[in-house]
Amino acid sequence: MEEVIQSKRNRKHQEQPILVRYADDLVLMHSDLEKLQQAEQKLVEWLASMGLYMNPKKTRITHTLTPYEGNTGFDFLGFAVRQFPVGKMHTGKNTVGEPLGFKTIIKPSKEAIKRHILALNHRMKKMRSYPQWKVIKELNPVIWGWSNYYRAVVSSDIFSACDRHVWFQLQSWARRRHPRKKRSWIDAKYWKQVDGRDTFCTPLGAKLRLHRDTAIQRHKKVRGQASPYDGNLLYWSQRLKTHPLMHANKAKLLHKQKGKCRWCELLFRDEDILEIDHIDHNHRNNTVSNLMLLHLHCHDERHSKLTKTTIEKKAPRNQKGTSEVTLPDGYSQEEWDAEMTVIKERIRQLEEEGISIK
């Protein structure tokens, strides 16, 4: 598709149309309207040769800086892209460092924000009779996932606005549960002071994650002609820690381990599944010094060997004729039995798939 819209002969190194495509959505960009329309016509003819066409209701021409046919900027994959005229102190620059006189701003689109708020409203209506811990369990993945998707663009003010909507929704939920109680009583029951901030949390410590708890992380352009398939594993393993969707703890461990797995000592790749393991097996000790980052299969291999070692190390029989198993530090018998059940089930699934863990 990119080859169709670009000129085969470009000896004068003229500006070429830029195509950004994801699934069946695409954006075609060029600074000249006439060249843009020519590229669009080539694309329409190429699609027609395969029996495809572009939806005229969803296709439009717009300008990102000045109004064109009543439109300014465009929405793509839930992002709103626009350019704003600014002074010389805030202006963007071109590839040779010359000021452009405008700044490109990318934000979550209004439609995406509206869909997210309505989705939260719909969930809250279903959870009118849920206890507090279950409300937190249901909302946290939704808030966390949406915030991570938009953490690489200008989203701070929008995150705060979404948190205000969530606060009103939680207030409505709490008042419905206690219609005869005062607001001060409701606030004291469901909102606690955590790090100097009112937080919706349970007495046992389960707390609601807010949108603004997700830090903004700017996207860094890929260096030169680098590709995940060029064999430069060192560059891509180091780049993983700055990926917008990378968890903060995983990013710290990637930097600490220099992009290598602690078990096999091989560099991580972009498509690898990464898991965090606790060195002292105490899952409540989440300090960085007690964590290490492993491949998924390395994590399974480590726990399978740990399981075999623990089972084989049996204590001498006591007077009642029963045997005791030495537990790792930080585990109770119930916690260890639960983890052993999970590990054995995972080992069984791997063996069914033909993967040996010996």
pLDDT recorded at residue 165: 95
> What pLDDT digit, counting tens, does each position of 90-134 carry?
888 887 788 888 899 999 999 999 999 999 999 999 999 899 999
Note the pLDDT of residue 143: 95
pLDDT given at position 210 = 93
Q: 151 and 217 in contact (C-beta within 8 Å)?
A: yes
What pLDDT does 177 receive? Answer: 92
With a cut of 50, which residues of the chain have pLDDT below it?
A: 315-316, 318-323
What residues contact residue 323 under an 8 Å CB cut-off, 6+ apart?
Answer: 314, 315, 317
Q: What is the pTM of this model?
A: 0.67
pLDDT of residue 241: 66
pLDDT for 179 equals 92
For the chain, how are helix, strand and coil distributed in percent, rounded to 5? 40, 15, 45
Residue 147: exposure state from Cβ atoms within 10 A (0-12, 13-18, ≥19) = buried
Q: How far apart are CA 53 and CA 66, in angstroms?
A: 29
Closest CA to 166 of 121, 131, 207: 121
pLDDT in tens, 209-257: 999 998 888 877 777 777 766 766 667 666 766 666 667 778 788 878 8
pLDDT of the residue at 168: 95
Within 8 A by CB and 6+ apart from 335, the residues are none
Those residues with Cβ within 8 angstroms of residue 262's Cβ, 6 or more apart along the chain or in another chain: 292, 293, 294
In angstroms, the CA 329 to CA 348 distance is: 26
